[in-house]
Amino acid sequence: MNFFKRANSLLARKRLSLQRPNVSTVEGIPEVSVPLIKKALTQSSLNIEEGFTCFITKCSICKQGKSEAKARLYVNKTTGMYMCSFCKHAGQWDELVGLLNLSKSKRLKLKEQIDSFPEVKTMSESLEKIRQSTKELKMFDGEELQTTLAKFKFPNLDISLLAALDIRSNEKNTLLYFPLENVENEVVGFRTLHCYSKEETIIPSINCGGILTAHSSRARDTAVLVPNVIDFLVLLKAKLSVHLVCLPDDVNALSQYYLPSFERFKKLVLWLGVDSKARDSARDFARKLDEKRCHLVRPNELLPHLNPNQDFKSIVANAQVLWHQSITSFSSLRSGVLSDLQNVDKVQGVKWKKFPTLNKIMLGHRRGELTVLTGSTGCGKTTFMSEYSLDLAMQGVNTLWGSFEIRNTRLARTMLQQMAGFPLAENLDKFDQVADVFEKLPIYFMTFHGPQKIKDVMEAVEHAAYAHDIVHVIIDNIQFMMGMSEEPKHMDRFWKQDAIIAAFRTFATRRNCHVTLVIHPRKEREDEDLTISSIFGSAKASQESDNIIIIQDKRLTSVKGKKYLQVVKNRYSGDLGVMPLVFDKKALSYAQKRAKERENNTPTVTDNNIEDVEDQKLE
């Protein structure tokens, strides 16, 4: 079971194990707008303060009595998600509307139950348990402190700096607990770091919105955001006149639960690294945090821990403003171009582990592109796409699946079996082990099934991109949106398809998110190869796409016919080519086998048992 060790190790390095919700669904998203939020709060006689990302008002649950000064409710301007800094109650916009409409008597009754709220009770019990079982680093003697810091490969720090942070350690000094503060500077959780595995977790939950921060008495309203604890400590040792914040999940995602904790800062300096993923994340995070207050450290500056002798004060002072990106000059692009040349491999995109031939042709999976996949009915488009996207998700690519033809339970079952590499129905004792690993992957599913309106789908996609930092969207397939278009009835299907493709093309560019669209081909003769012109609809799909991939299935016209993947358009490098597809029935996998696996007679499907394969495919 080496797979599970590798997968868990990868996930531990890539993200906090409790950072994102487990594999979840994107439900029907209620329509929320700034005027709508203002109107609802005003009608409830609540005074509104407009922050950078949230509206701030008094909590409708605990606004009366002694708690009034602390009961501040933060309502996200984009999604309507709310969070109270006092009673720790959080939820979606429709829930808040229900609370606002409660009668005074019911609201008072609910207020009396605050201490028994699961959020408050869980947080209090968890924090108390940690304090009783751990020891503050400031209580260590000099030798014990240096030994502990050496285990984690931390820089030597003054006791006074550690005392201000209230860092704690377990009995064996192998697990450190960093306090997380909410917007009111109240400790609401701990971020743990293990000295050997480097695994990080959030205790008790991300919902409390706590962030690891260090306050400077000389700083006013500026904070520097870094991706990990070691960078945080290096800057802490430098004693800059700024507040320091360690991002909760490296550069992978920034949950909306954390946004209220950033409201106290008027200027944010993002120092996330030099590679392309870090720069993409910096721009995504800036859009969430309000670009007007965000500055970006020049992309050619190394992270603090990679060069601890840098002039940190000068680097922070020279951070570039992110606002007004529509107009720029080469002088502002120069360092970014140099960084791209120095990191060519990373700029090419995320590489597939299971499809090395695809890497040679397409070089990688890049953000901001639009890919079209087509193939004849029953050729296995959905099966291939599930493995294609699973491969990327296991490398930290936040993925949103929109499967209108195949139900989510069936799609998830296929992905589980592809990840495990063996029939789960025959190995039910291993289901929990596989499911636990799969649950940690950043994969989300839209709950739509059957024909859908493009407006509803785009609302869900936009919400997921904001709330879950999605960087790969799969739509299988767009024909299911063409019959529910809100366009005039006289508009034909070609025009409707063009409108759908235009919407996803705009989304991919604006959100810097990769979109993969599955499109059925036109009806053609079975003995003819599919081409770019075989894609159903007008030429817009082929014109707007960056990549076009066709699954060619010759098994229907020849006894010895093969199935292969053909890249017929590649805007990034221009390289075209084919990749043989051999289906492994037991694993439901198209993964290319290595030489050693072939020598060991790894089970694969051949032409002799092709009829059995057809029963296993999704399409």
Quick: pLDDT tens for 33-46.
888 999 999 888 88
364, amino acid identity: G
Instruction: Report the Cα 350 to chain-centroid distance in Å.
Output: 14
Average pLDDT over residues 301-316: 91
Rounded Cα distance, 505 and 283, in Å: 19
Look at 586 and 63; give whichever has higher pLDDT: 586
The predicted structure's pLDDT at residue 68: 52
126: number of Cβ within 10 Å: 16
Q: Using alpha carbons, select from 26, 28, 74 the residue that is nearest to residue 48.
A: 74
For residues 244 and 223, is the Cβ–Cβ distance under 8 A? yes
Position of tokens 């309000």?
Answer: 290
Q: What is the mean pLDDT of residues 157-182?
A: 87
pLDDT tier, 488 (very low <50, low <70, confident <90, very high otherwise): low
Pairing, β 443-446 against β 472-476: unpaired
- Position 414 scores a pLDDT of 94
* Residue whose C-alpha is closest to residue 435's, from 23, 14, 18, 12: 23
What is the amino acid identity at position 349?
G
pLDDT band of 585, cuts 50, 70, 90 = confident
- Max mean pLDDT among 145-159, 187-201, 417-431, 588-602 falls in 417-431
Which pLDDT belongs to residue 4?
46
Res 219: pLDDT: 76
User: Which H helix or E strand runs over 402?
Assistant: strand 399-403
Residue 115 has pLDDT above 60, yes or no: no
Q: Are strands 54-58 and 49-50 parallel, antiparallel or unpaired?
A: antiparallel
Residue (of 49, 85, 95) closest to 258 by Cα position: 85
Residue 109 has pLDDT above 90, yes or no: no
Least confident of 12-16, 27-31, 281-285, 464-468: 12-16
**Contacts (Cβ under 8 Å, ≥6 apart) of 440:** 11, 15, 17, 22
Per-residue pLDDT reduced to its tens digit, 310-346: 999 999 999 988 755 555 556 556 666 776 776 777 7
The tokens for 526 are 């079975």
Over the chain, what is the mean pLDDT?
82
Q: What is the pTM of this model?
A: 0.77
- Separation of alpha carbons 248 and 19, rounded Å: 8
Q: What pLDDT sits at residue 329? A: 56
The pLDDT of 157-174, averaged and rounded, is 85
* pLDDT tens digits, 565-578: 999 999 998 999 99
pLDDT tens digits along 76-100:
999 999 988 887 788 889 888 888 8
65-79, 222-236, 598-612: the lowest-pLDDT one: 598-612
**Which residue in the block uniquely carries the two structure tokens 């959080």?**
90
Confidence class for position 184, pLDDT limits 50, 70, 90: confident
Give the up-direction half-sphere exposure of residue 159: CA atoms within 13 A in the CB hemisphere.
11
Which amino acid is it at 501? I
Give the Cβ contact number of residue 600 at 10 Å.
9
| pLDDT cut 70: percent of the chain above it | 81
Checking if the pLDDT of 502 tops 60, the result is yes
Residue 564: its pLDDT value, please?
Answer: 92
CA dist 52 and 39 (Å) reads 18
Integer angstrom CA distances of residue 172 from 100, 151, 165, 179: 49, 11, 20, 19
Which of these, 77, 445, 19, lies nearest to 251 by C-alpha position? 19
Q: What digits encode the pLDDT tens for the residues 381-428?
A: 999 999 999 999 999 999 999 998 889 999 999 999 999 999 999 999
Structure-block tokens of residue 537: 């609809």
The pLDDT confidence band at residue 613, using thresholds 50, 70 and 90, is: very low
E strand segments, 241-364: 243-246, 248-251, 267-270, 294-296, 320-321
C-alpha span between 537 and 43 (Å, rounded): 49
Cβ-count burial of 382 within 10 angstroms (0-12 exposed, 13-18 middle, 19+ buried)?
Answer: buried
pLDDT at position 602 is: 42
The better pLDDT of the pair 484, 50 is held by 50
* Torsion angles phi and psi, residue 352, rounded to 5: -80, 140
Asked whether the bond before 204 is cis by omega within 30 degrees of 0, the reply is: yes
- Identify whether the C-beta of residue 369 lies closer than 8 Å to the C-beta of residue 514: yes
Q: What pLDDT shows up at residue 65?
A: 45
CA–CA distance from 66 to each of 70, 74, 111, 568, 619 (Å)? 9, 19, 12, 68, 61
Residue 9: band (very low, low, confident or very high) from pLDDT cuts 50, 70, 90: very low
Q: For the segment 435-447, what is each residue's pLDDT rounded down to a tens digit? A: 999 999 999 999 8
Q: Indicate the burial class of 69 (C-beta count within 10 angstroms; 0-12, 13-18, 19 or more).
A: exposed
CA Rg value for the chain: 26
Given a cut of 90, is residue 508 above it in pLDDT? yes
**E-assigned strands of 42-160?**
49-50, 54-58, 72-76, 82-84, 90-91, 135-136
- Read off the pLDDT of residues 222-239 as tens digits, 9 standing for 90 and up: 999 999 999 999 999 998
What is the secondary structure of 53-84 as a DSSP string? SEEEEE-TTT-SGGGGGT-EEEEETTT--EEE
pLDDT at 25: 46
Q: How confident is the model at residue 611 (pLDDT cuts 50, 70, 90)?
A: very low
Residue 275: predicted pLDDT: 83
Q: Return the residue matching tokens 């996930």.
A: 11
Q: What is the pLDDT of residue 117?
A: 62
Pairing of strands 90-91, 135-136: unpaired
Higher pLDDT: 52 or 20? It is 52
Predicted local distance difference test score (pLDDT) of residue 461: 94
Percentage of residues of the chain with pLDDT beyond 90: 40
Average pLDDT over residues 130-152: 88
- Residues 551-565: what's their mean pLDDT? 82
